[in-house]
Chain A
Amino acid sequence: MSSNKKYWKSVEELNENSSIVETLKQNEFVTEIPTDEFLGDKETLENTATTRRDFLKYVGFSTAAASLAACEGPVKKSIPYVVQPTEIVPGVANYYATTIANGFDFASVLVKTREGRPIKIENNNLASTNGSANARVNASVLGLYDSLRVQGPKKDGSSISWSDFNTETTKALNGLKGSDKSIVLLTQTYASPSTRNLIADFKEEYGNVNHVVYDAVSESAAIEAFQNKYNKRGLADYDFSEAMTIVSIGADFLGDWQGGGFDSGYSKNRVPDHGKMSRHIQFESNMSLTGANADKRVPLTPSQQKLALAKLYSLVTGNNVSVSGLPESVEAAVKSAASQLKKAGSKGVVVTGIQDVNAQTVALELNEYLASKAFNSQVSIKTRQGIDSDVSQLVADMKAGKVGAIIMSGVNPLYTLANAADFAEGLKKTQLSVAFSMKEDETSIQTQYIAAAPHYLESWGDVEIKTGHYSLIQPTIRPLFDTKQFQDALLTWTNNDQSYSDYIKLIWNEDILNGASYNQALHDGFFSSATAESDDIDELEGVTSTTSRELKAKKDRTWVGGVIHNTAVDLKLKEEDKDEYITKTTHSTVKSSNNENASSLTGGSYAQALASSAKPQGLELTLYTKVGMGDGQQANNPWLQEFPDPITRVSWDNYLTVSKADAAKIGLTNTHVANGALNGSYANVTVNGVTITAPVMIQPGQAKGSVGLALGYGRTAGLKEEMQTGANAYALYQNFNNVQNVTIEPAAGEHEFASVQLHNTLMGRGDIIKETTLEIFNTKDKRHWNAVPVVSLNHKETPVTSPEVDLWDEFDRSIGHHFNLSIDLNACTGCGACVIACHAENNVPVVGKTEVRRSRDMHWLRIDRYYSSEESFEGDNDKKENISGLGSSLSEFGEMENASENPQVAFQPVMCQHCNHAPCETVCPVAATSHGRQGQNHMAYNRCVGTRYCANNCPYKVRRFNWFLYNGNDEFDYHMNDDLGRMVLNPDVVVRSRGVMEKCSMCIQMTQKTILDAKRDGRQIKDGEFQTACSAACSSGAMSFGDINDKDSKVAKLLEDNRMYHLLEHVGTKPNVQYQTKVRNTTEA
C-alpha cells in the first residue's frame, strides 16, 4: 500500500511554519467547541452532585424500571356503596324527566343518568308540545360539569358561608324596607308559576320591590303586539303542521324566533304525502336556517322586509296601504306570496321576525284574517317575557341612584346590554348587589355577592311553557357544589322555612293539578290541563294584563301576585293557609271582562305605519343568534364551540356575513390558504359611534345592502381562554333593536377561520343530493328523478344494484336483525341536534380551533351544506351536462365552484354509511374494521394500528383519526382534561386513544342493549325500539332507524320508497344508510 501521493488539505500546508497547520494537528476543530453554551455556567455545574455516569445510571435505571412496571398490571380498587340507593343499579341507566328553562331554551327533556351522573339529554316524547331538545339543550349537560363553576357563595371575591350570606343580605334588605330606594329583582324569563308566587311573597315582605324580567335577546315587540291585541301576556303559538303555505318575513322560526321549538311541526308537512307538501316562502336578509329550508327565498334588507310585510297585508286583505320603494322583482314575489296565501286560506300562515310592534301586529292581523289553523292566540307561549322599556328604565333608575338593592338571577347584563357601562355605573350606586350565577361572569364579578347557583340538572322548578302546558324541573344529581337556588333564597328572605320543592308541590296541588297526581306529573315531567281549564286560565290572564296595564303608569307592577292570590282564595284553601292569603287579596284589583280587540287602530293603519317607518339608510345590520351558541350563556361549552354553524360550517367563531357584491365594494375578501383553510379579512363595524372588529364571511344569499352578525360570542369572563372566541355583538344591540344602520370599513389583518367544509357547491353532481320538484315528483316516473345508476355489462346498461355486476360475494343478512338508517332530506332542517347527541353518546372528543382548521375535526356525524351555483341545483345539473369539454370547460367548472348570489341550499347529514361492501374493510392490514351480520361496519379500536388506509379508501370521508391523545392532555384543555368534565363520558363506549381510527358505529351499544333487554325479557323486538343517538335526537322525524328484516318496520318501508337512494350508489358500496330524495315545492300559484 505504499504510495508517494500526498494529499493536500489546504494551501496553508505549503507554508511549513504555518501556525494553523500546527494547531490543526492537535485539534479536530479550528476553534474550540462552544461547550459553555450548552453546559451553562460552570458554577452550577460543579455544584450538582450528578455526574455524567450518574446521569447515565439514572437513565438506564428509569428505562428498565419503566419497562418492568409496564408488565405489571396496576392494582385497581373497587369501592362499593355503604348503603346503595335502591333506584341505582351499577351499570344500568336511569332516566328522569325534567325541563330546561335557562331563559333562552325551554324544553321538556329526559335525562339519562348512570350511577347517579347525568350523561345525556334526550327528547321527552310524552311532552312533545313542550318543544324538543335542540343542539344547545343536548349540550347543556356538559355545563353541569364545567370546571369553572362557582363552587360556593362569595362576597367581594372571597368565599363566605350561606348562613352569613343570608344574615347579611336579609339585614341589607330589611334596611331598605320603607326607604325610598327600591329593591329590584332582575331575572331571566322563568315562566314559572311557583317563582311568580314567590316573588309576590317577596314583594309582600319588602314592599318597594320591582321585578324586571330581562331577555338577553328580546322579543318585546311581539309581546307588546300580542298584548295590545289580545289583552294577554305572551306570544302567539304556531303549529306549522297545520299550515300548507308558510310565508315568513324575517322570522327564523327554525332557529330561535320567539323561543324556537317550531321545527318538528314544520317538518311534518315537508314530506310529500299523497302528492302534497307545504310551500314555504321566506323573505329575509341573513341566510338563516329557515331561509335555507325554504322552497323560495327572497333576500331583502330589513327595511324592505317592512315594506314587503305591509304590501303583503294590503294584497291579502285588500286594505289599501301605500307602499313604495320595493324593487319590481320583490313586488312580484310578494304578489305571488299573497295570492298563494289567499288560496291557502286557513291553511296559510304568516310570521315575521321584524322587531317592531306594528310589524308584529300586522302579522297577527293577517293570521286572524286568514283564520289560520296554524295560529293559536288562545294558547300563548310564555318563554319570553322581557319588556325592553322596563330594562331601560331600570338602568336609568340605577344611574339616578334610585335602586337600593339589585338581585339578579339567570341574567348577565354587563355582557348582554349594549349600554353595559351605564349598568355598571348604576350597579356601583346600589347598596346591595347579588348575582345568582353559575359562573364568575361579566356581571357577577362586579356584584358584592355571588350567590353560587346550581345547574338546572341540580335544581327544582316548574315552567309554564305555553298556557296550560306545565312542566316540572327536578334534580337529577345531588348538587356538586355548595349552591343555592334563587327561589330557595327568596324563601329564606320571606322567612318561609319550606324547601322550594315543597313549595312547588303546594302550588301545583292547589293551582295547577286540579286533583291529578303530582307524582305522575313529576314522573312525566309535564302536565297539560284540559281545554276547559285552559279557558279558565285565559280568563285569569285577562285579569292579569288589565291589572298590569293599569299599574304600568305607576311604574309599580305587582300584577302577578295579585292574580295568583285571587286564584288561591278561589281554590278553597286549607283553613290554616287561608289567613296568609286573605291579606293578600287586597292586591287583586280590576277584573277585565273585555277580551275583545281593544285596539283602536285597525290592521291597515298598522301596516301603513309600518310601511312609513321603513327608512333605508346605508348598510343594515341584522343581529341574530346562532344555532350553536344562542344568547351566549353556554359559551364555555366546548361541544357548542366546536359545533359547526349549519349555514357557514364555521366553528369557534362569529363573523360579519356580507354579500359578495357588498364585500367587493368595501374591499373585504375570503381566501383559502395553502392547506385549504379559510381566511377572512377583518372589518370595523360601527353603530352610532360604537365600533367592534369582526372577521368577514362572504355569505351567499345575504341580501345586498345588509350584513349579519351573531350574538353570543366575545365573552371574556368565567370561561377558559380557548372559549373566548369571536366579537361581542351585544355592544351593537342598541335599544334592543336587532336591526341597526352600520358603517363598515376594512380593518387590518387576516382572520383564520376553522371551517369544516371548504367546498360549498355541489358542482352539478346531482347524485349526491338527489333533488326534484313537487311537480315532477307527482307527475313523472321514478327513473326521471331518482334513477338508479347503470354500468355496462356486455354492452348493456345494467343497474349497479343488480348482482351480476357485483364484484363481491353477498353477505347473508336474511337472518336476525339488519339495521338501516333512513335520512329524509325533506324533513331534515339541518338543526344539528343529532351532531351534539352523537358527541354525548359516543364520547367524541373536542379538538380545538387550530385542529379543526387542519381538517382534523372528530365529528362522527356531519351535516354537509351545499349551495347551488346557478339559481337552483337543477340549473347546476344542466350547466354541468352542457359543458362541452372543449376550450372553456375548465373555466366553466371553475365558475361552478362559486355559489350563486341567492342559492338554493341543501343539507345532508353524513355519517359512516355502513357499506355492505365496505372499501375500508378490504384495505385494513390488521383487520381492525370488519363487517357485522347486522349490517354494521365494526371498528375494533384496540386492533387498529393507525395506518389510515381505511380513511383514504372511504368514498364518504367519514372516518376520523385520533392525531393526538385528546383526553387528559393539557394541550386539549376541554372537558376531557379534568375529572369533573370526564363525568359526562358514556361508560359503555370506549374513549379512544392516540393513533386510532374511529367512526360512527351506528350506536352499536344502543342496539346491543335493546337486543339484550328483549332477550332478558324473552320477547320479540317491536319496531321503534331500535334507536341511534342521532335518530332519537331528531325531533323533525328526518332520521328513522330500525331493522329491515322486520318487513313491517318503518325503515323497511322507507327502503322500498320511491324517494330512496344511496349515497354514491354507482360506487357499489351498498350502504345501510338510505337517503330520501329532496322534493322542493316550487309551484307558484
Chain B
Amino acid sequence: MRKVIHRRLSRSFFSLGLIVLVAFTTSLSAQEGDPAKGKSLFNANCAACHQLDKKMTGPALRNVETRLSDDQGLDRDWIYAWIRNSSGMIKSGDAYANKVYNEFGGAAMTAFPQLSDDDLNNILAYTAEEKKASAAPAAVAGGTQASEDSGGISNELILGALAILFILLAAGLYLVNKTLRRFASAQNIDLEVETGRKPLWKAFVQNQFLMIVVAIFFLLSSAYFVYGYLSQIGVDQGYQPVQPIHFSHKIHAGDNGIDCKYCHSSARVSKTSGIPSLNVCMNCHKSIYEYNGETSAEYSKEFYDGEIKKLYAAAGWDDADQKYTGESQPVKWVRIHNLPDFAYFNHSQHVTVAGVECQTCHGPVEEMEIMYQHAPLTMGWCINCHRETDVNVKDNAYYEKIHEELSKKYGVDNLTAAQMGGLECGKCHY
C-alpha cells in the first residue's frame, strides 16, 4: 500500500515538476501576490469546495492560472470574472465556463463579488506555490519512533542489569557460606546444630491461639478479596474494544477541537448521547479525504487515510467521482458505555440542565486515541457525584421556588443533587 502511494507520489512529482517548469516561464508576467495571505483567504472562502491537488466539488486549483492560460488561453481577467460571477459567465455563453459547469454536474460556483483584485492575486499566488515534499513527515515519524524505542530499551537494560547484580550477589553469598563451611570442616570445628527446639512451623501449628487468629485473618481477607472480585463483575472500567473503524477522539476532539456535541448532538435534548450518523461524519469528511496531522509508527498517515476510506465505503461515498453511490453499509460500532436496562440515565438532564462537562464522566476523551470507559459506571459512583455536586439553579426559572424553599430548609445556599431528591430509587429505576 505504502509502495503504491509512493509510486503515485513520485509520478505526480514528476508531472508537478513539469508544471512548475512551465509555470516559471510564464509567471513572470503575472502580478505578484502574497501566498501567506492567499492561504488564509483560500481556507476561508474556497476550501469548502476546492483543494489544491484534488478534484472535489470543484476542480483542483494548483497552478490554475498557468493551466488555464496554457490549455485554454484564458487570462487572469477571465479568472476574476469567473470568481465574481460565474453564473453570469455561464449564461453569457462563454465556452470554457459552460464546459466546467457541465463537467461538475451543473452546480454553479458561489459568486464572490466581495473579493478584491489584491485578494484574488494573493489566492492565485497561493495556488501557484509549489507542492511541499511530503516525505518529511514520514522521516520525522521514524525518528520519533526510534527515540521512543531507545527509551524503552534503556529501562529494560537497567532492570536487567539490576537483576543480574542481585543474582550475582546471591550467588556470592552462597559461595561465601559454602567456603566458610569448608573452612570449618577443614579445621574440625563442629557447627552447632540446633536440635532441641521444635521447628517454627510446628510450634506455630501447635499454638491454637495463633491458629485461630490466622484463620480469622485468612477468612476475613479472603472474604474481602472475594467481595472485591464479585463487585467487579459487570464493571467494565477501562473497557477498550477494537472498533470497526479506528475513530480517534484525540484527533477530532483534541487536535481539531471539535465540540463533543457537534457530533453527539442528541446529548443536549435526549436521554441518549447518540452515536453520530454517517451523514454527520460526511459533513466534514467530504472535503477531508486524507490525514495530515501528527503520525506515529503504529498510526501512520496511510493507516488513517485507510480508515477514512472505510468511512467512505460505509457511507457509500465515491471519492473519485465526488458523489454518493447509494450503497451504504451501516457501521456496527461496539458499545462501550453500557448501563443496565433497569437504570434510567438521561444525558440532557446532565448536559443541558446541569451543565456537566462530558469529561466528568467520560474522562479525557480528547486525549484518547482509542475510546475507553473512563468511569466505573456503578451506582456508588453515580450517588457519590449526586451527593457532592451542587445543582445548577442559576437563571433557571424552574428551580426558583424550589431552590428558595429548600435553601431555607437546609440553611445552605447551594443545594446538592441529593438534597433535591436525587438519591431516591424511583428517580433512576422505573
Contacts and interface: CB of A to CB of B under 8 A. Distances in A.
Interface stretch (A368-376, A850-858, A1010-1018, A1067-1075): A1010-1018
Contacts of A79: 330-333
26 contacts: A76-B334, A81-B278, A83-B278, A83-B328, A89-B270, A90-B274, A812-B409, A815-B402, A815-B405, A816-B402, A816-B406, A930-B425, A938-B426, A938-B429, A939-B430, A942-B429, A943-B425, A988-B271, A990-B342, A990-B429, A1001-B430, A1004-B426, A1008-B430, A1015-B399, A1019-B397, A1020-B401
Nearest to A92: B270
A761 interface: no
A322 B56 CA distance: 95
Interface in B378-430: 395-402, 405-406, 409, 420-421, 424-427, 429-430
Contact of A1020 (B270, B397, B425, B426): B397
Given A78-B335, A815-B409, A930 B424 contact: yes
Interface string A70-105: 010101111111111000011110000000000000
Interface string A794-814: 000000000000000000101
Most chain A beta carbons < 10 A, residue from B266, B340, B344, B425: B425
Contacts of A936: 426
B353 interface: yes
A932 B424 contact: yes
B172 interface: no
Contact of B348 (A1016, A1018, A1020): A1016
Interface string B254-279: 00000000000010011110111111
Interface residues of A, number: 50
A127 to B, nearest CB: 28
A73 B342 CA distance: 16
Classify the interface of chain B: helix, strand, loop or mixed: loop
A90 B273 CA distance: 8
B276 A80 contact: yes
A75 B241 contact: yes
Contacts of B331: 79-80
Contacts of A942: 340, 342-343, 429
A90 B272 CA distance: 7
B378 to A, nearest CB: 13
A162 interface: no
Classify the interface of chain A: helix, strand, loop or mixed: loop
Interface in A918-976: 928, 930, 932-934, 936, 938-943
Given A78-B333, A89-B274, A1015-B353, A71 B233 contact: yes
Given A79-B332, A939-B426, A1016 B421 contact: no
A514 interface: no
A180 B421 CA distance: 78
A117 to B, nearest CB: 15
B349 A1015 contact: yes
Interface residues of B, number: 57
Interface string B69-109: 00000000000000000000000000000000000000000
A19 interface: no
B300 interface: no
Nearest to A993: B342
Contacts of B279: 81-84
B325 to A, nearest CB: 12
B19 to A, nearest CB: 39
Contacts of B190: none
Interface string B296-308: 0000000000000
B194 interface: no
B246 to A, nearest CB: 16
A938 B400 CA distance: 26
A77 to B, nearest CB: 5
B319 to A, nearest CB: 17
B17 interface: no
Contacts of B401: 1020
A148 B328 CA distance: 31
B236 interface: yes
Contacts of A1017: 398
A477 interface: no
A787 interface: no
B316 interface: yes
B36 to A, nearest CB: 39
Interface string B220-235: 0000000000000110
Contacts of A943: 425, 429
Interface string B347-368: 0110011000000000000000
A1005 B424 CA distance: 14
A77 B333 CA distance: 6
A387 interface: no
A1016 B427 contact: no
B344 A988 contact: yes
Nearest to A929: B425
Interface of B: 233-234, 236, 241, 266, 269-272, 274-280, 314-316, 328-335, 338, 340-344, 346, 348-349, 352-353, 395-402, 405-406, 409, 420-421, 424-427, 429-430
Contacts of A75: 241, 334-335
A933 B331 CA distance: 44
A89 B316 CA distance: 23
A508 B391 CA distance: 52
Contact of A82 (B274, B328, B395): B328
B427 A76 contact: no
B397 A1012 contact: no
A1016 B392 CA distance: 12
Contacts of A940: 342, 425-426, 429
Nearest to B244: A77
B429 A1014 contact: no
A535 B384 CA distance: 68
A619 interface: no
Nearest to B353: A1015
B281 to A, nearest CB: 10
A989 interface: yes
A1012 B424 contact: no
Contact of A73 (B234, B266, B398, B424): B234
Contact of A1004 (B280, B316, B332, B430): B430
Contacts of B314: 82
A330 interface: no
Given A73-B234, A76-B338, A77-B334, A1014 B277 contact: no
Contacts of B316: 82
A658 B363 CA distance: 71
Given A80-B274, A940-B425, 17 more contacts: A75-B334, A78-B333, A80-B275, A80-B276, A82-B329, A83-B277, A91-B270, A92-B269, A932-B421, A932-B424, A932-B426, A933-B424, A938-B430, A942-B429, A988-B344, A1005-B344, A1005-B430
Given A84-B277, A938-B426, A942-B342, A816 B421 contact: yes
A768 interface: no
A326 interface: no
B398 A1018 contact: yes
Contacts of A933: 421, 424
Contacts of A938: 424-426, 429-430
A1021 interface: yes
B398 A1019 contact: yes
A929 to B, nearest CB: 8
A990 B430 contact: yes
Most chain B beta carbons < 10 A, residue from A90, A930, A932, A991: A90
A26 B329 CA distance: 75
B266 A89 contact: yes
Interface string A977-1019: 0000000000011110000000001001100100110111111
A814 B406 CA distance: 10
Most chain B beta carbons < 10 A, residue from A78, A1005, A1021: A78
A89 B236 contact: no
B167 to A, nearest CB: 39
A73 B236 contact: yes
